[in-house]
Amino acid sequence: MKRNLLSTLLLSGILLTSCTNDDDNNPIDEQVNAPANYTFERDGSSTVDYNGQTTRLLMGEALSGALMDPTETATSLQAIYAHEAGTENFENTDLNFSDKNLKSKTAASADFFASNTADQFDIRADFDGWIDAQANEIFPRWNSAAAPGSAGQIADGTSTRYVSGQGLEYNQLVIKGLIGAVMADQALNNYLSASVLDEGENISENEAGITVAGKNYTTMEHKWDEAYGYVFGLNADPANPNNDLGADSFLNKYLGRVEGDSDFAGISNEIFEAFKLGRAAIVAGNYEVRDEQAAVIREKISEIIGIRSVYYLIQAKLLLEQPQPAYGTIFHDLSEAYGFIYSLQFTRKPGTMEPYFSRTEVRAILDDLMDDGANGLWNVQPQTLQNLADTIAARFDFTVTEAGS
C-alpha cells in the first residue's frame, strides 16, 4: 500500500510525481498521469461503469416532471421515489425493470449514516412529507390564486409557480434537497470514502488487477466511477463532460451555473481533473494521490451547494427591496435556496468526517428563513436573507458578493 509518498501536483492537474519512499528512502517511480478524457481501459475494453448512477439521475428527472403533474397522487409520486423493480412507474421501460430507486440512497452514505439511522429516518421523512404535501396541498389548488396562508399559483414573469400557504414550492425542496441527500452524499461521503474504496480486500485486489466477477473493473475502480456518475452521468460525452454542463437537474446543472459565474470560472475543470487524476491514481496503486483528489472533489462540490444557497438568498433579497416585490420570483428563489440550504448537511469539509453545516445548524437556518411572520416567506425580511447568506458564506472560501451576483 503506497501511503507514505511525497507528492508534487503540477499546476496542469494532469501529472503527479513522487520520487522517494519515506520508509527506506529508496528511489521509486510513482508517476501518475491522468488521461485527456475520463477514459480507462483494461485489455482494450473500458473499465468505466456508472450505469446505476445514470439510472437514478433519470429517475430523478422523472420525479421532477411528475411533481408538476396535478393528475399524479401522493401514492403515485411516492412510488416513483421508492420504485420497486417491475412496477410501471416510468415511461422508460428500462427504469421500470430496474431494482434501483432514489429513496434507498437518500441519506445512505457509509460515512454519515451507516451508524446514524435516526437522522436517516428523519431525512427520508422530510422527503416523504414534501412529496405528500405537493399532492395533497398544491394539486387541489392548482388553478387557485395563492395568498398568505393559502396554497395556489402565483405569477413569476411568464412562468407560473405553485406554492404552499407559506410560499414554498415543494417540488423545489424535493429536487434541490436530493442534490445533497442523494447525489452529493453518495459521491462525497460514500463512494469517495476510504472506508468504501478500501473495504475488505479492495486494495490487494486492485493492486493484483483482480476484477469483479463478470466485469472488467476492480471494485475500487468501480466505486470511484460511481461517484463520477453522480456528477457527469447524463452528459452527452461523459468522458469529456465540460462541453455540455447542465445535462441534468441536479449537480451537473448547478456545476454549469457556477462555472458560468466569472468569480468561479474553472471550478468544473478542477472537479473533472481531480476525478481523472484520482482514477488514474487507483490504476497506479497510489492511494495518497487518490485521497488528495477526493479531498479536492469534496471541497469543490460542497462549494457549489454553498454558492447556490447564498445566490438565491441574495437574489430574493434584492427583489424584496424593490418598491413592488415580485413575490412569485421571490418564492421561487427562496424555495431553491431552501433546498440548497437543506443540502448543506450532506457537504464534506476536506480532511474531516463532518459537513460544513450539521443537521442541527441547517434546521436552525431554515427555521430563521421561515419565522419572520405567521405566513413564512410571505413575511420574510431582506435583513434576514442577508444574515443567512453571511452565515453560510463565512464557512466557505468565497464571499457573499461573489456568490450572490
Backbone φ and ψ for 140, nearest 5 degrees, come out as: -65, -20
How much is the average pLDDT of 107-136?
98
Give the span between the Cα atoms of 341 and 177, in whole angstroms.
Answer: 8
Q: Which three cell numbers stand for residue 109?
A: 452514505
In a domain, 35, yes or no: no
What does the pLDDT read at residue 31?
Answer: 83
Question: How large a percentage of the chain has pLDDT more than 70?
Answer: 93
State yes or no: pLDDT of 1 exceeds 60: no
Measured over the CA atoms of residue 204, residue 210, residue 211 and residue 213, the dihedral's sign is negative
Q: Check if the beta carbon of residue 273 is closer than 8 Å to that of residue 38.
A: no
In a domain, 81, yes or no: yes
Give the total number of structural domains in the chain: 1
Question: How large a percentage of the chain has pLDDT more than 90?
Answer: 92
State yes or no: pLDDT of 244 exceeds 80: yes
Q: Which residue has the higher pLDDT, 39 or 9?
A: 39
Q: Return the DSSP state at 103.
A: G
Q: What is the dihedral of CA 256, 261, 264, 266, to 10 degrees?
A: 50
State yes or no: pLDDT of 21 exceeds 60: no
State yes or no: pLDDT of 8 exceeds 70: no
In a domain, 231, yes or no: yes
Q: What is the dihedral of CA 108, 366, 314, 63, to 10 degrees?
A: 40
Count of other CB atoms within 10 angstroms of residue 2: 18
Give the span between the Cα atoms of 389 and 163, in whole angstroms.
Answer: 23
Nearest to 167 by CA among 388, 378, 382: 378
Confidence of residue 29 (pLDDT cuts 50, 70, 90): very low
In a domain, 32, yes or no: no
State yes or no: pLDDT of 299 exceeds 70: yes
Residues 193-232: tens digit of each pLDDT: 999 999 999 999 999 999 999 999 999 999 999 999 999 9
Count of other CB atoms within 10 angstroms of residue 379: 15
User: 316 CB contacts (<8 Å, ≥6 apart)?
Assistant: 329, 330, 333, 334, 337, 380, 385
In a domain, 162, yes or no: yes
In a domain, 11, yes or no: no
Instruction: Put residue 8 in one of left, alpha, beta given phi > 0 → left and psi -120 to 50 → alpha.
Output: beta
**Matching residue, cell 424593490:** 322
Q: Check if the beta carbon of residue 271 is closer than 8 Å to that of residue 262.
A: no
In a domain, 176, yes or no: yes
What does the pLDDT read at residue 12?
Answer: 36
Give the span between the Cα atoms of 4 and 125, in whole angstroms.
Answer: 44
Residues 157-178: tens digit of each pLDDT: 999 999 999 999 999 999 999 9
Rg (CA), the chain: 22
What does the pLDDT read at residue 30?
Answer: 64
Instruction: Put residue 44 in one of left, alpha, beta given phi > 0 → left and psi -120 to 50 → alpha.
Output: left
How much is the average pLDDT of 365-393?
98
State yes or no: pLDDT of 51 exceeds 90: yes
Backbone φ and ψ for 103, nearest 5 degrees, come out as: -65, -40
List the domain range (segments joined by +) for residue 73.
Answer: 41-394
In a domain, 141, yes or no: yes
Q: Check if the beta carbon of residue 268 is closer than 8 Å to that of residue 259.
A: yes
Give the span between the Cα atoms of 93 and 344, in whole angstroms.
Answer: 34
Give the span between the Cα atoms of 178 and 184, in whole angstroms.
Answer: 8
Query: What average pLDDT does the chain have?
Result: 93
